[in-house]
Amino acid sequence: MSVDLGTALAIPIAIAAAASFGGAASLQHSAARRARDVGLGPPLLLELLKQEGFVFSIGLGVLGFALQALALRLGPLILVQPLLITGTFFYILFISARMRMRPDLTLIIGVAMALVGLSAFLLIAQPSNGRDTFDTSAALPLGLGLIAIVGGSLLLATWLRGDARVIPISVAAAVCYGVMAGLVRSLVTSFNGDVGALFSDWQLYAAMIVGPTGFMLNQQAFQKGLLGVFTVTIITVGDPAVSIGIGIAWLGESIRGGALCNLGEVVSLLVVAAGVMLVATRSQHLTAELHARDERKRELKRSPRP
């Protein structure tokens, strides 16, 4: 597979973006678990802003987004978005650093599975560039399907009770993030320095809606107890899966076809999902241990000395 300079540069930049997103996610997950469940929208954001580390996580998220946009300008969407799965590795590094402990064997195995699956996918798929702008006419069925998935997921979330709501909320967040990546890819590759023309692109206004919606859905899902494992897995794997579909249908990007190649691509993504779920499960336990340890320290400080 021949790789041009832009694509070669996109790879380390995407991994740097994943590191920023991993650090942001570790802080946001912790903040969301401490925050009161006040629903979606401004009340949730105000509650999160009161939590330690959340403001810093926003800065990391902005940095990650800027690096992601740069990577998307240089390389195809269906290359950059799967690379963001490496954020799982950085996520556990931040969690382990906060707990002042080494990652255990379970985490190492989970990360190894995710990275092996990701490497296999990229080697088999061999993503290539497409157009700079959306082919909206050809992509209409996919667009309507994604809208239906988000709407149906949010409707299902209103019917469910308790932590089970996390699953449809996570699906909706993953779709929003995947669509957002496609919108950003279209904007950054077609931008020629004319700011006025940028404000005439419908993709910009769609991104202003889709991006914040995905972020708020993500924070809502982070609050949901042990099912937070499914939150991390669904969003981490669902985002690039949606992006692959968007890259092919909307931007004319391509991956290798054929029955064997398609089977290998699906199996490799399933290996990634299994690795991410293993990491998320163990990280959830580590986070709970961290909170319990901090609570014991606070109790010792509050208790009167003899």
DSSP secondary structure letters along 91-152: HHHHHHHHHTS---HHHHHHHHHHHHHHHHHHHHH--B---SS--TTTTHHHHHHHHHHHHH
Average pLDDT over residues 135-160: 80
* Residue 186 in this model has a pLDDT that exceeds 80: yes
Using only the alpha carbons of the chain, give its radius of gyration.
20
Instruction: Give which of 242, 186, 178 is closest to 214, Cα–Cα.
Output: 178
Tens-place pLDDT, residues 69-120: 999 988 888 889 888 888 877 877 777 777 676 766 787 888 888 889 888 9
User: pLDDT averaged over the chain?
Assistant: 80
pLDDT score recorded for residue 239: 86
pLDDT score recorded for residue 222: 65
Half-sphere exposure of 70 (CA within 13 A, CB side): 17
Q: Report yes or no: 233 and 87 within 8 Å, Cβ to Cβ.
A: no
Least confident of 18-27, 30-39, 166-175: 30-39
Average pLDDT over residues 185-200: 80
Average pLDDT over residues 141-150: 82
State the distance between the two ends of the chain, measured CA to CA, in whole angstroms: 72
Q: Which of 13-17, 130-134, 149-153 reaches the highest mean pLDDT?
A: 13-17
The SS3 call for residue 216 is helix
Measured CA angle at 6 (ends 263, 196), to 5 deg: 110
Q: Where are the domains of the chain?
A: 5-302
pLDDT band at residue 15 using 50, 70 and 90 as cut-offs: very high
Beta-carbon contacts of 249 under 8 Å, excluding residues fewer than 6 positions away, are 135, 138, 139, 142
- 255: number of Cβ within 10 Å: 20
* Residue 136 in this model has a pLDDT that exceeds 70: no
* Residue 174 in this model has a pLDDT that exceeds 80: yes
Average pLDDT over residues 15-38: 80
Residue 37 DSSP class: -
Length of the chain as a residue count = 306
Q: Which of 61-70, 121-130, 275-284 reaches the highest mean pLDDT?
A: 61-70
Measured CA angle at 276 (ends 97, 76), to 5 deg: 100
pLDDT band at residue 139 using 50, 70 and 90 as cut-offs: low
pLDDT band at residue 20 using 50, 70 and 90 as cut-offs: very high
pLDDT score recorded for residue 284: 66
More confident residue, 185 or 200: 185
pLDDT band at residue 135 using 50, 70 and 90 as cut-offs: low
d(CA 252, CA 132): 9
Q: Report yes or no: 71 and 7 within 8 Å, Cβ to Cβ.
A: no
Average pLDDT over residues 137-141: 67
Residue type, 94: F
d(CA 221, CA 37): 10
d(CA 88, CA 113): 11
Average pLDDT over residues 254-258: 82
* Residue 1 in this model has a pLDDT that exceeds 50: no
Measured CA angle at 135 (ends 131, 138), to 5 deg: 130
pLDDT score recorded for residue 294: 63
The SS3 call for residue 75 is coil
